[in-house]
Amino acid sequence: MHLLSGSVFFSYRFAPYIFIAILMLYVICNLYDVKPGIYIDRFVEDEAEEEHPSFPVKFLADLEANGKRCNLLPGFFDIKHRNVLWQEAQIGASMFLLFSAFMDYRDEKEGPLVRILAMVDSDWPAMPTCHLYFSSDANRAPVATKAIRVELIHWQTPKQGEWHPYLITCRGGSQNNSAKVVSLVSYPCSNPSNALRIINSYKTSKPKGRSEKKKKLALCHKFLFNSAQDYSYRIIEWLEIAKTFGIDVVTMYMLSAHPNVKKVLNYYEKTGLVKVIQWTNPGDQLNVPSLLRSLYDTQNCLLRHISSHDYVGVWDMDEFMIPIEANSIPEMIENALDNWKVLHHGQEMANYPTSYLARTSYFLDENTDPEFIEEQFEQTLNLTSFNEFKDSGINLDKMSTYFPFLSHTIRTTKFSPSKVFTKSVHDTSRALALHAHYALYNLEGPIDREKDLYELCPQTEGFIGHFRSKCQGENQIDCDLNFRSDLEEDRSLWMYSYDIIYNTLNTIKELQLF
């Protein structure tokens, strides 16, 4: 007997109920993606998130584990990537390429905010909708909220069709319940093609209620991109100088590097002094040095440290900020703030400087004396330490090679003009977007260059020492007239010479880089 023809098995009076059941099944199939569960080893999850810190591997794996999820939640393999580290979001006619997202509690008026760093191929991008995920519950739909701002973080006028850096700001939930993951979509009901883990380094949701004390100073360095050049000696000494002058951590962005440089960075990562973040260019751009987006790493580094450090410094590996009267860079900045308070008596904290600018003096290679420097190094190390490194195989006749900073003790008397070729330390309670030389935005809006920037007095507070073969810029005639003609001795970096020399040589010995 046919299954549907016998009265025992079927009756027309059940037809409405069967129709309702089919309709419900149809609705359920559209609300949920029913797929085999995806299970990822926890060690693999940790490694994947370390390699790709913005990709929410654990969150997505938890969603997939049950084999079903709300259709508005992203699937593990629904995320569209460009050039490994960037995620796509098509918002109207604009393509957003997303790199990272951060929780920001600093603005008390606006409450918790999510800051998203993106490159957009438009001079007037559409306003996206933010999908906020507060848990990995597969049955819970995201909270959809319109972005409140899309801000260009650049000083040049954008052009249609070219990639430009933008900072997208969304509401981030409440003080007690902040979002864990965010996607950008066109409309509240759009399916996401991206999902960023929101980096939240606050120990508790309420910043005022946290008991931990922020560290003083983090340093941001731009991209490492040359796999053929071995500057391992320079980076070791630079990091040891940074440590002795009060820098807690150095964040570096790496596209490629020489094997010896990678060995050095791995060594210092294990000590906690260095944090290396992988980098690629956005979209279909080649990963070549001349196309690197140098503002983007600086911005990412600032947002990484807004909750962990009072200040963030930005300068290159051939530069260092040198305090004059203070014993460390954080002490120099605190002294500068005290001086500012005297000059601006009665000003509220919200009006404190956003950036502390240091003018440049050049330590040119032509003014080094290798023989004199080697004598100074031998006198600085005690006999026990000297013999320790000599016996290890280190060539102590190459001291000027091992120490490209301490080997320079002659600098130009004149400094770069005001606000020209400066490098800065930024107040993380105020800065929002950074230029390589000073802040572009703070929490109040675009920087007022007269009110928000404090220029350090190079004779009494501090300056940037630039260690290079020639003056910055193409016109070396001006360099001869204004800088090379007037020189003076400066051994400020020798304040902690024993620690710098001993620790540098010890690292070279440990890594067998001789």
Is the model more confident about 231 or about 8?
231
Do 140 and 258 belong together in one domain? no
Do 193 and 220 belong together in one domain? no
Q: Which residue has the tokens 């919200």?
A: 350
Residue 469 lies in a domain: yes
Residue 51 lies in a domain: no
The Cα angle at residue 429 between residues 427 and 430, in degrees rounded to 5 = 75
Do 170 and 276 belong together in one domain? no
Residue 6: the pLDDT is 42
226 contacts 317 by C-beta, under 8 angstroms: no
Domain residues for 111?
Answer: 78-202
Q: Which residue has the tokens 């100088």?
A: 241
SS3 state at 29: helix
Which one of 162, 181, 202 terminates a domain?
202
CATH number (domain holding residue 470): 3.90.550
Residue 263: the pLDDT is 98
Q: How far is CA 483 from CA 165, 324, 467, in A?
A: 36, 20, 14
Do 378 and 240 belong together in one domain? yes
Residue 127 lies in a domain: yes
Is the model more confident about 366 or about 398?
366
Do 322 and 238 belong together in one domain? yes
Strands 439-442 and 445-446: antiparallel
**91 has pLDDT over 90:** yes
Mean pLDDT of 237-255: 97
**257 has pLDDT over 50:** yes
* Most trustworthy range by pLDDT among 135-139, 245-249, 346-350: 245-249
Do 236 and 104 belong together in one domain? no
Residue 413 lies in a domain: yes
Do 284 and 428 belong together in one domain? yes
Q: What is the pTM of this model?
A: 0.88
Mean pLDDT of 129-155: 90
Do 173 and 281 belong together in one domain? no
Share of the chain above pLDDT 90, in %: 59
**349 has pLDDT over 80:** no
Per the prediction, the chain carries an average pLDDT of: 86
Residue 67 lies in a domain: no
Residue 289: the pLDDT is 62
Do 196 and 248 belong together in one domain? no
Q: What digits encode the pLDDT tens for the residues 32-84?
A: 444 445 555 666 677 777 778 899 988 888 877 766 778 888 888 889 999 88
CA dist 6 and 16 (Å) reads 18
Number of domains in the chain: 2
Q: What digits encode the pLDDT tens for the residues 169-225?
A: 999 987 778 899 999 999 999 999 999 999 997 754 444 444 468 999 999 998 888
**288 has pLDDT over 90:** no
Do 275 and 178 belong together in one domain? no
Could you give the dihedral angle defined by the CA atoms of residues 236, 239, 241 and 245, in that order, rounded to the nearest 10 degrees? -170
User: Binning pLDDT at 50, 70 and 90, where does residue 474 land?
Assistant: low
Do 186 and 251 belong together in one domain? no
